[in-house]
Copies of this chain bind each other. A is one copy, B any other.
């Protein structure tokens, strides 16, 4: 009955991931009510406090809204509304990362030490292990990118890149889209990461920039692949065109 058994660490994280995937898959439409905590507890074979922790995790991320005495309701799904304000899409975030982290990798290639290189190589292996585990998180992935940012020896660069990474969690739409893309696309990331490390080891800034851009370009592609809504399809074409224009201009 339970898809989660011997979760390595915190159970609530596994459960939260499961629920997030169900939300992304559309099992619960917008506005729908999730099963009661007690039901989820028996369904997933965990205790009610654990269910509550997972619920709270989703609530903090803005994915659901809990109404006392009533239940937990789905808040928003990707593409449902285009708030003209500060809502930064997953595409914009990743495009920004492509630019900034590309330059950071180039700078890091001229600064990196053997120790940092070894640490980053270890993270690549950790990422591979994460990808083999369907329930794997992306902690190692985050650590990988931040380690490169740190190798620039520039706190401002590190801060900006860390912020960009964490920004994706603040937008429910972006978080869901990334989750969909992650579960749908688990293949070539290892090779891409290896290429980045290779360039860093060679202390080749140009190659490092290219490898990092290639990697994040793939991420954008997987995001596009995970996008289905028609509204987003427009943005998809626009983003693609923009990226092509920029890439051609800097080739």
Contacts and interface: CB of A to CB of B under 8 A. Distances in A.
Residues of A contacting B: mostly: helix
Interface string A153-165: 1111101100110
A103 B99 contact: yes
A160 B103 CA distance: 14
Given A92-B156, A100-B100, A160-B100, A110 B245 contact: yes
A205 B250 CA distance: 7
Interface stretch (A82-90, A182-190, A226-234): A82-90
- Copies of this protein in the assembly total 2
Sorted nearest first, the 3 A-B pairs with minimum C-beta distance are: A205-B249, A96-B156, A99-B103
Contact of A166 (B62, B92, B95): B62
A95 B250 contact: no
A246 B106 contact: yes
6 contacts: A57-B57, A60-B60, A62-B166, A92-B157, A160-B160, A205-B249
Interface string A162-176: 011011010000000
A1 interface: no
A109 interface: yes
Contacts of A88: 155-156, 159
Interface in A1-59: 9-10, 12, 49, 52-53, 56-57
A206 B84 contact: no
Interface in A166-222: 166-167, 169, 205-206, 209
A184 to B, nearest CB: 23
Nearest to A89: B155
Nearest to A57: B60
A61 interface: yes
A93 interface: yes
Contact of A110 (B52, B156, B206, B242): B242
Nearest to A161: B160
Contacts of A246: 106-107, 110, 205
Given A86-B155, A160-B160, 8 more contacts: A88-B159, A99-B103, A107-B246, A110-B242, A110-B246, A156-B164, A160-B163, A206-B249
